[in-house]
């Protein structure tokens, strides 16, 4: 099955190769003497099926278009405009409807990033809070209760409407920048729609048992949080960026610090809180233009106020990287289950060795293939406050006295890169602890960081 998915994705990858040859509007190609690489200018676009695979969300299908405006080509592979449109669905019930625009030409001297998206999750991973204190049992997912399967026990549903505008401007050239932005997160949370999934079925019926439902019943999730809420997030901070290029740097650092304030007067709940986000990425050359090493260290934590449970898993990145779900899965600790590590504060890190094995031109486009090997890790640093007196039945799923551990995943990947910016990545990760999962395969776009 996984080989079939990879073959489908690579077949889709060939489509922008064919499309871009004719879609480079008013563009001349300049060949640099140093690299014999054709520099792009004007507009190029690739429209492809949104074919991807992620162990946590299933097979993704749909369509996407990415349009790049390179201007006169003097900054290639940096672009003047990047417009991304996606409509996709997955076999495990996720849906993405997204439009983004990344440009430094709208406001002179300021890089702007806009996003408008609506995401649905029929069965979002929910394992509880505080990492090792949240006990996971594969046997529970495999259990059949009263002739109904419990395989959605560690799931709940979520609908997310998100609108955001981020801006970055220079303080000392392009290396040291300020950042600011505003975003709205509209969360609708509920139990999995088991009745809808069972509709029309006569066997393999699903049960309504769920850890999320138990957490509500036990009072761990307050009644005024159980159905979600809408919150406006204000942020400011700084970025120090000396990368030699954005898609796959061979030297430099990318360090960012953000302060977030989520005021109750801009929300439809009484919750107000602030968080600190700090991330450092660094890149080293081993063999120029062929082999490099990259690592990332990140911390995110609440510094005051009360944070609703459904806002804790979000992982915040500086634009144009998009906010994702929390620690575990394709974007953080590969091999570990998505949202396995959730708390009011958490840290994670990655180290990755990347090496190109082929650089060439294919259908008049610049093209290379790279391999990678990685180790990822994460842990909760600030725990969610559990009730003092948990009911006896809760202790089957929660160990309030457990010490947190480092949750580790490791593995490797292969990357197919078109014109430096369009990157298809296939990563395969293995969880070091059975309590954190088994293995994960992730087929998507771009290097992880």
pLDDT at 404: 97
pLDDT at 37: 55
Confidence check: pLDDT of 422 > 50 = yes
Give the mean model confidence (pLDDT) for residues 145-174.
95
Domains of the chain (ranges plus CATH)?
82-445 (2.40.160.50)
Give the mean model confidence (pLDDT) for residues 421-437.
94
Q: Mean pLDDT across the chain, nearest whole number?
A: 90
Confidence check: pLDDT of 411 > 60 = yes
Determine contact, residues 206/195, Cβ cutoff 8 Å.
Answer: no
Residue 275: CB partners within 8 Å, gap ≥ 6? Answer: 259, 260, 262, 300, 301, 302, 303, 307, 316
Quote the tokens at residue 145. 């209760």
Summarize pLDDT for 132-152 with one digit per residue, the tens: 999 999 999 999 988 999 999
Confidence check: pLDDT of 432 > 60 = yes
pTM, rounded to two decimals: 0.86
Q: Calculate the dihedral angle through the C-alpha atoms of 245, 248, 253, 257, rounding to the nearest 10 degrees.
A: 100
Confidence check: pLDDT of 32 > 70 = no
Summarize pLDDT for 278-311 with one digit per residue, the tens: 999 999 999 999 999 999 999 999 999 999 999 9
Confidence check: pLDDT of 39 > 90 = no
What Å distances lie between residue 73 and 31, 78, 175, 243, CA to CA?
A: 11, 8, 21, 19
pLDDT at 26: 43
- 92-96, 150-154, 164-168: least confident range: 92-96
pLDDT at 107: 93
Determine contact, residues 128/211, Cβ cutoff 8 Å.
Answer: yes
Give the mean model confidence (pLDDT) for residues 94-107.
94
Summarize pLDDT for 320-349 with one digit per residue, the tens: 777 778 899 999 999 999 999 999 999 999
The pLDDT-based confidence of 22 (bands split at 50, 70, 90) is very low
SS3 of the chain: the string is CHHHHHHHHHHHHHHHHHHHHHHCECCCCEECCCCCCEECCCEEEEEEECCEEECCCEEEEEEEEEEEECCCCCCCCCCCEEEEEEEEEECCCEEEEEEEEEEEEEECCEEEEEEEEEEEEEEEECCCCCHHHECCCHHHHHCEECCEECCCCCEEEEEEEEEEEEEEEEEECCCEEEEEEEEEEEEEEECCCHHHHHCCCCCCCECCCCHHHHHHHCCCCCCCCCCEEEEEEEEEEEEEECCCCCCCCCCEEEEEEEEEEECHHHCCCCCCEEEEEEEEEEEEEEECCCEEEEEEEEEEEEEEECCCHHHCCCECCCCCCCCECCECCCCCCCCCCCCCECCCEEEEEEEEEEEEEEEEEECCEEEEEEEEEEEEEEEEEECCCCCCCCCHHHHHCECCCCCCCCEEEEEEEEEEEECCCEEEEEEEEEECCHHHCCEEEEEEECCCC
Confidence check: pLDDT of 182 > 70 = yes
Give the mean model confidence (pLDDT) for residues 374-381.
98
The pLDDT-based confidence of 77 (bands split at 50, 70, 90) is confident
Summarize pLDDT for 383-403 with one digit per residue, the tens: 999 999 999 999 999 999 999
Q: For the chain, what percent of residues have pLDDT higher than 90?
A: 73
pLDDT at 200: 87
């Amino acid at each position: 099955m996984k080989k079939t998915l990879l073959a489908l994705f690579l077949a889709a990858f060939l489509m922008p190769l064919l499309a871009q040859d004719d879609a480079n509007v008013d563009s001349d190609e300049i060949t640099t003497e140093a690299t014999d690489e054709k520099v792009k200018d004007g507009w190029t676009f690739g429209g492809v099926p949104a074919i991807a695979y992620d162990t946590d969300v299933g097979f993704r299908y749909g369509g996407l278009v990415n349009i790049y405006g390179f201007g006169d080509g003097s900054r290639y592979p940096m672009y003047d405009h990047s417009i991304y449109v996606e409509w996709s669905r997955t076999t495990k019930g996720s849906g993405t409807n997204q439009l983004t625009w990344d440009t430094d030409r709208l406001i002179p001297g300021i890089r702007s990033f806009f996003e408008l998206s609506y995401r649905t999750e029929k069965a979002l991973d929910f394992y509880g809070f505080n990492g090792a204190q949240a006990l996971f049992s594969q046997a529970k997912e495999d259990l059949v209760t009263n002739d109904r399967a419990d395989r959605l026990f560690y799931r709940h549903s979520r609908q997310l409407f998100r609108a955001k505008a981020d801006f970055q401007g220079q303080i000392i050239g392009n290396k040291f920048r300020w950042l600011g932005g505003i975003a709205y997160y509209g969360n609708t949370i509920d139990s999995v729609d088991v009745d809808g999934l069972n509709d029309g079925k006569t066997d393999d019926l699903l049960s309504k048992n769920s850890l999320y439902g138990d957490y509500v019943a036990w009072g761990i999730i307050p009644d005024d949080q159980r159905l979600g809420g809408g919150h406006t997030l204000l942020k400011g901070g700084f970025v120090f960026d000396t990368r030699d290029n954005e898609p796959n740097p061979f030297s430099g650092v990318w360090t960012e610090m953000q302060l977030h304030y989520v005021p109750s007067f801009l929300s439809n709940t009484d919750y107000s809180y602030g968080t600190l986000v700090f991330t450092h990425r660094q890149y080293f050359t081993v063999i120029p233009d062929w082999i490099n090493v990259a690592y990332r260290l990140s911390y995110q934590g609440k510094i005051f106020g009360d944070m609703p449970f459904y806002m804790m898993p979000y992982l915040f990145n500086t634009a144009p990287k998009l906010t994702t779900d929390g620690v575990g899965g394709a974007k953080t600790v590969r091999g570990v289950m998505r949202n396995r590590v959730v708390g009011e504060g958490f840290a994670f890190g990655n180290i990755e060795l990347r090496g190109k094995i082929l650089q060439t031109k294919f259908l008049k486009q610049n093209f290379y293939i790279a391999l990678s090997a990685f180790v990822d890790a994460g842990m909760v640093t600030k725990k969610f406050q559990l009730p003092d007196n948990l009911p006896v039945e809760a202790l089957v799923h929660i160990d309030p006295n457990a010490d947190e551990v480092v949750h580790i995943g490791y593995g490797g990947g292969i990357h197919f890169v078109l014109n430096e910016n369009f990157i298809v990545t296939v990563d395969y990760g293995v969880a070091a602890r059975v309590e954190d999962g088994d293995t994960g395969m992730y087929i998507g776009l771009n290097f992880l960081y």
